[in-house]
Amino acid sequence: MPRVVVHVMPKPEILDPQGKAVAGALPRLGFEGIASVRQGKRFELEVEGAVTDEVLATIREAAATLLSNPVIEDVVQVEVEGEAAH
């Protein structure tokens, strides 16, 4: 079954406590050289049938409304696995 991957990240201006916590832990655990960390979400959607433009449009809309919170998050990428990013 073809798969579409949706990448969601917190908006740059939004405080990212999870990312900050990870960034703070890294040097304590000996991982140096990382200036900052931001944590977002990755969704893998298995699609019934071919990934047509219409299906991609549906997924983009679902990404903007259900998979992300448009107030604090951006959909940064929607890619059909195995194809170049759209």
Q: Point out which residues bind its own copies (CB under 8 A).
A: 1, 7-9, 19, 22, 25-26, 29, 31-49, 55, 58-59, 61-62, 65-67
Closer by beta carbon to its own copies, 46 or else 71: 46
Q: Least distance from C-beta 76 to its own copies, angstroms? A: 8
Give the nearer residue to its own copies in terms of CB position, either 32 or 71: 32
Of 75, 79, 78, the C-alpha closest to 66 is 75
33 vs 71 by CB, closer to its own copies: 33
Among 8, 39, 7, 33, which Cα is nearest to 21's?
39
Burial class (CB in 10 A: 0-12, 13-18, 19+), 6: buried
